[in-house]
């Protein structure tokens, strides 16, 4: 019994298998992925980016259907890959890397090239054609009249009378705007690779998070803790974030009682030194004098706290002047 002849794979099938293997290798070789969009990005531009990140990362593009199949096929081994599935849509790709994500992202998005306006595309910015000479001959005056743009002839050339806004940011570019900008040889936009989302060792988050410095993260965390403590106190709910404040308030009350009763303990030494350094007076002898001095010294503590809270609100308007505040 003769064996059936083995069918040769078509070139398309070979390319598909090669891409499948390449994507699978990248999934297990790299732990971090930048999800990118490449709308209006040319092949030459992509090639330049590949060269700049060579040795640090790898860019993989491909059909979304194949990418989804590869991810689903490997989800049993690595369930975290499921987090990537919702982002496999549109004109997208992956940048695989084990290096610093922020550095790779900056390299990838840095290369942008000027581009002409395209009808139906959302404008990246407001585009204004300035008043002045266009370099076009008077025979093309009808073109500007069709677009309702005021012109005049100066020294044998068409000159636009006033500034003309042809595109508004985040609104679709019209066909007439494309025709005008093309006629004047204006390239108003620039296109490049955009990094939208980050996949870091199984966690997925917005790429804008990479712009946050460690100090920004500490500030955000501290602000959230302070808000949570304030809400907890308002609700009368005791938890971890309120305990430090409760201890602080309790110690203030104990210190005030100790000063009033002229009672001394180890922790009061620092309090008394601070009071003396702040001009609290009262030093150490007799019965009534320490009590009177304690009241005088205790009052500034509350006043300083209130002034410290009020000061930022004053500075928000650039000083205490009422007129300045109104102008702001």
184 and 201 share one domain: no
Residue 10: half-sphere exposure toward Cβ, Cα within 13 Å: 3
pLDDT score at 281 = 41
Report if residue 67 sits inside a domain: yes
pLDDT at position 111 is 87
**Both 18 and 45 in a single domain?**
yes
Domain of residue 205, CATH code: 3.30.70.1730
Q: Do residues 74 and 143 share a domain?
A: no
Tell me whether residue 150 is in a domain. yes
Q: Please check whether residues 18 and 104 belong to one and the same domain.
A: yes
Residue 36 burial class via C-beta count within 10 angstroms: exposed 0-12, middle 13-18, buried 19 and up:
buried
Domain identity same for 23 and 48:
yes
Contact assessment for residue 29 and residue 96, using Cβ atoms and an 8 Å cutoff? yes
Q: Are residues 15 and 94 in the same domain?
A: yes
pTM over 0.85: no
CA–CA separation, 94 and 57 (whole Å): 10
Q: Are residues 101 and 182 in the same domain?
A: no
Q: Establish if 106 belongs to a structural domain.
A: yes
pLDDT of res. 23:
92
**Regions of the chain with pLDDT less than 70:** 1-8, 278-328
Task: Please tell me the predicted confidence (pLDDT) of residue 296.
Answer: 40
**What's the CATH code of the domain at 162?**
3.90.105.20
* Residue 219 within any structural domain of the chain: no
Same domain, 99 and 69: yes
According to the model, what pLDDT value does residue 278 have? Answer: 62
Do 152 and 247 fall into the same domain? no
In angstroms, rounded to a whole number, what is the distance separating the alpha carbons of residues 247 and 137? 82
Q: Which two tokens stand for residue 185?
A: 């040889």
Query: Are 74 and 134 part of one and the same domain?
Result: no
- Domain holding 258, by residue range, is 242-307
- Same domain? For 173 and 288 the reply is no
**Do 87 and 155 have their domain in common?**
no
Rounded to whole angstroms, the Cα distance separating 55 from 282 reads 71
Burial of 27 (0-12, 13-18, 19+ CB in 10 A): buried
Q: What's the pLDDT score for residue 232?
A: 87
Assigned domain for 216 exists: no
Q: Would residue 63 count as lying in a domain?
A: yes
Task: Count structural domains, the chain.
Answer: 3
* 86 in a structural domain: yes
pLDDT (0 to 100) of residue 244: 85
pLDDT of residue 7: 55
Q: Is residue 232 situated within a structural domain?
A: no
């Amino acid at each position: 019994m003769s064996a059936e002849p083995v069918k040769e794979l078509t070139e398309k099938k070979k390319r598909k298998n090669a891409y499948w293997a390449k994507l699978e290798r990248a999934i297990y070789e790299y732990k971090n992925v930048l999800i990118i969009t490449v709308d209006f990005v040319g092949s030459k531009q992509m090639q330049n980016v590949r060269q700049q990140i060579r040795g640090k990362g790898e860019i993989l593009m491909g059909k979304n259907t194949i990418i989804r199949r590869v991810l689903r096929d490997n989800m049993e081994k690595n369930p975290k890959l499921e987090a990537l599935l919702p982002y496999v849509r549109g004109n997208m790709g992956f940048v695989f890397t084990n290096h610093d994500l922020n550095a790779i992202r900056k390299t990838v998005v840095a290369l942008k090239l000027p581009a002409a306006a395209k009808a139906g595309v959302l404008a990246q910015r407001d585009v204004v054609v300035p008043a002045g000479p266009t370099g076009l001959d008077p025979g093309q005056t009808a073109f500007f009249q069709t677009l309702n743009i005021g012109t005049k002839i100066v020294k044998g050339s068409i000159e636009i009378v006033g500034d003309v806004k042809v595109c508004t940011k985040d609104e679709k570019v019209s066909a007439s705007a494309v025709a005008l900008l093309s006629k004047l040889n204006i390239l108003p936009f620039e296109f490049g690779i955009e990094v939208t989302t980050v996949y870091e060792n199984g966690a997925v988050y917005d790429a804008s998070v990479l712009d946050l410095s460690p100090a920004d993260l500490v500030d955000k965390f501290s602000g959230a803790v302070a808000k949570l403590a304030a809400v907890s106190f308002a609700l009368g709910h005791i938890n971890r974030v309120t305990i430090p404040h409760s201890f602080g308030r309790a110690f203030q009350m104990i210190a005030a009682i100790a000063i009033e009763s002229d009672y001394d303990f180890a922790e009061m030494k620092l309090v008394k030194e601070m009071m003396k350094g702040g001009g609290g007076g009262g030093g150490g002898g007799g019965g009534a004098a320490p009590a009177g001095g304690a009241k005088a010294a205790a009052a500034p503590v509350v006043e300083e706290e209130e002034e410290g809270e009020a000061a930022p609100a004053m500075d928000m308007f650039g000083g205490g002047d009422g007129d300045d505040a109104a102008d702001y």
